[in-house]
Amino acid sequence: MADQYQHPMTRNLHESSPSTRQIVRFLTAAMIGISLLVLSAITLTGTVIGLIVATPLMVLFSPVLVPAVITIGLLTAGFLFSGGCGVAAATVLSWMYMYLTGKHPMGSDKVDYAIMRVSEKARELGHYGQPQTQQTTTTNH
């Protein structure tokens, strides 16, 4: 008889009906959503209060802060650019070392093809230019 009058909250969730489980899931999701909404509202309020407090300080120190931020930004950009150029140079030197030692790095077949095309064009122009240089030297004497 005592089991009939047991409080519904003390029953095991697995023994409850499917509709009760759905209600519990919905309430859990709703509570999580409401908690996140309250947290975002508190964060927004804190941000606005912090901005209100910091605005007079930023106005007072802006003649110092603005040039300082610009300088730090330029220094950061310069260091990042120089570091990037150093990495690029190290990569190129590594590729050249591997190419010159015959290890065939990626893209070396394209370089070989370009060298072949340039040498063919140089030979072709050399054969074309040789009679012209002989003609020029014979007419000047």
Per-residue pLDDT of the chain (141 residues; tens, 9 = 90+): 455 555 555 555 555 576 777 888 888 888 988 988 889 999 999 999 998 998 888 888 888 888 999 999 999 999 999 999 999 999 999 999 998 888 989 998 998 899 899 999 888 887 777 777 666 666 666
Q: How would you label 79-113 residue by residue, b for 16+ Cβ within 10 Å and e otherwise? A: eeeeeeeeeeeeeeeebeeeeeeeeeeeeeeeeee
pLDDT at 70: 92
Can you tell me the distance from the alpha carbon of 92 to that of 112, in angstroms, rounded to the nearest whole number?
A: 16
pTM: 0.45
pLDDT at 4: 54
Q: Write out the two tokens for 2.
A: 């005592």
pLDDT at 16: 58
pLDDT at 128: 76
DSSP 16: S
Domain residue extents for the chain: 8-106, 107-141
Quick one: which H or E segment has residue 86? helix 18-100
pLDDT at 1: 47
Angle among Cα 122, 108, 96 to the nearest 5 degrees reads 95
